[in-house]
Amino acid sequence: MQIPFKANPEKKKIAAVGSALVDICLAENDTFVAATGAAKGGMTLVSNERIQELVDQSANKPVIVPGGSACNTILGIGKLGNPASFIGKRGNDELGTLFEEGVRAHGVEPLLQTSATSTGNVLSVITPDAQRTMFTFLGASSETDPASITADLFDDVALVHVEGYLLFNHDLIRATLDAAKKAGTLVSLDLASFTVVETSKELLEELCSSYVDILIANEDEARAFTGLTDEHAALEALCAKADLAVLKVGKRGSYIGHGGSSITVERMGDGGAVDTTGAGDLWAAGFLYGLVNGLPLETCGKLGSACGYEVCQVIGAQIPEESWKRIRALI
């Protein structure tokens, strides 16, 4: 199935706007998660001190890498060889330098403001079932100036990708979507977390009706947004909110809906996972890469599935080069 590409077909660049965060990936058990008081699989905003406290409570050593939902997606797009940029704000500190160097290493242009505030970071506690429970300190990432997001940032861009976490910053997400539309780009929105959807549903409804072309959700996020438990009904409801909708259903694959029709995308691999951190973000990377390069939706979904599978075989959201070679072979 082909989707009419409404942006300038001569442009291929993808820009992502989101939180410049460093991922701290910590393997732990369900007892550890329960003791935090947080909902397993959700996301909780906390202080930087609380993250350090939780890390100190564990005997395990964390893996530290550049992260953030939109950033994970755009780094994957950069590794696939597509022109890409990331817009956000980091602290003027060691973690901020680590973040920016990591972005450049993936072939992505960092368009980053800096702040005296510490760089934001996310503690992802990964349990043996590969689920991750996130504790987020937004830090400098929450200080991105909405007035700095202007249409000229997207002059050479085909698609602007936005993470759902920006729904916590009303002025910033409105400025981003308005600038994208003024520049004539497509807009994709990844709902990011069911907890985000639950607290921002009214704003989300408004923004989808005015700005969003591509809406990406997993089954928990779709349920929170539509109120529907049936997957096919939820996909149909998502399609009513955007021209193109994606519903990811974990090990069972995903569905893509457009123009009254839907495609079932089979899972890649055996469905096993070491860590699901970044799975949805990397799925979006493969899918959006295929979309801006004019590939059929079936192929876009296959690329998304491959990226999502490969990132689940490692701790954190960084896919090894050998795995990228397998993914690129599908193009």
Give the least confident one: 34-43, 78-87, 267-276, 302-311.
Answer: 267-276
pLDDT score for 193: 86
Which structural domain range is residue 189 located in? 13-18+67-109+151-328
CB atoms within 10 A of CB 23: 27
Q: How far is CA 185 from the centre of its chain?
A: 18
Q: Is residue 121 one of the residues assigned to a domain?
A: no
Residue 22 has pLDDT above 60, yes or no: yes
Q: Is residue 118 one of the residues assigned to a domain?
A: no
Q: Is residue 49 one of the residues assigned to a domain?
A: no
Residue 3 has pLDDT above 60, yes or no: no
pLDDT score for 9: 67
> What is the pTM (predicted TM-score) of this model?
0.89
Q: Is residue 211 one of the residues assigned to a domain?
A: yes
pLDDT score for 259: 86
Give the least confident one: 7-16, 196-205, 292-301.
Answer: 7-16
Mean pLDDT value across residues 234-252: 94
Q: Is residue 35 one of the residues assigned to a domain?
A: no
pLDDT score for 7: 52
Q: Is residue 80 one of the residues assigned to a domain?
A: yes
pLDDT score for 209: 92
Rg (CA), the chain: 18
Here the CATH number for the domain that contains residue 309 is 3.40.1190.20
One-letter amino acid of 91: G
Mean pLDDT value across residues 25-35: 94
User: Tokens for 50?
Assistant: 């609380």
Mean pLDDT value across residues 104-112: 95
Q: Is residue 56 one of the residues assigned to a domain?
A: no
Q: Is residue 132 one of the residues assigned to a domain?
A: no
Using alpha carbons, select from 118, 114, 120 the residue that is nearest to residue 137: 120
Residue 140 has pLDDT above 80, yes or no: yes
Per the prediction, the chain carries an average pLDDT of 91
Please count the structural domains in the chain.
1
